[in-house]
Homo-oligomer: A and B are copies of this chain.
């Protein structure tokens, strides 16, 4: 491997652990602090990432740029990098639809870089076996090699530069949509006065669902603000394949109402709190 420097844009909760994983290959991992929050700066510092301040410096010194950001910001970030005429490998590891990934690929290629599509499945990398980084594109194997000594399971799945995004999309199409669905169902059951009867019936015939609803409230509600864009991307993917887009547009509508839970993880939101938020304040609706 001939890489010396890898940039991580931006060090969020997930991204910072991908950067740390790349560092296990011996490369220098850099990032750019300009316009980033205090929390991000702290996170990057603790992970030992080198701050080169701005995108100009990132582009000048990186062999590989890893883009790990909210899906709605992915194309814009690629455009900024392309405008700086980056010539290395650009990995978009965000949860975007194939069409968006291909658009990012075109954008980045016009600037002279090589595009590798990526999709992350799992939680931030803290131990082995929890997180896969799927990669596709001609240079995907080179990127996968960066992580071969790390706890991140990086897998090159072929040359098709949209495959990794497509895989991430079809995977999240289940997990995040059903988190929304199970909470919407509990909201309806509560509204209808049958929540207890439903939980009793679930205990008999769907023993995982009560737990799933509790976990969805705790884990998904604080991330709802970024799931909105991801659900819209998934809906677009279904639509462009001639399949019903409504499942994921409904999930997007659902998560939009939970944006007030942004980053509220301590204490974690309860099912009751989520239901209250969905319904608005009791005064309004009575």
Contacts and interface: CB of A to CB of B under 8 A. Distances in A.
A124 to B, nearest CB: 15
Nearest to A121: B201
Contact of A192 (B122, B163, B209, B244): B163
Given A250-B244, A254-B244, A171 B192 contact: no
Given A197-B134, A246-B249, A250-B247, A174 B181 contact: yes
Interface string A143-187: 000000000000001001011001101110111011011101101
Contacts of A174: 181-182, 185, 206, 209
Nearest to A208: B208
Copies of this chain, complex-wide, total 2
B184 A247 contact: yes
Contacts of A197: 134, 157, 163, 167
Interface string A24-45: 0000000000000000000000
A197 B140 CA distance: 15
A153 to B, nearest CB: 9
B157 A241 contact: no
Contact of A250 (B122, B189, B250): B250
Contacts of A160: 193
Given A188-B238, A247-B247, 13 more contacts: A121-B205, A132-B201, A132-B204, A163-B193, A163-B194, A167-B198, A170-B185, A170-B189, A174-B185, A180-B247, A181-B181, A181-B247, A187-B243
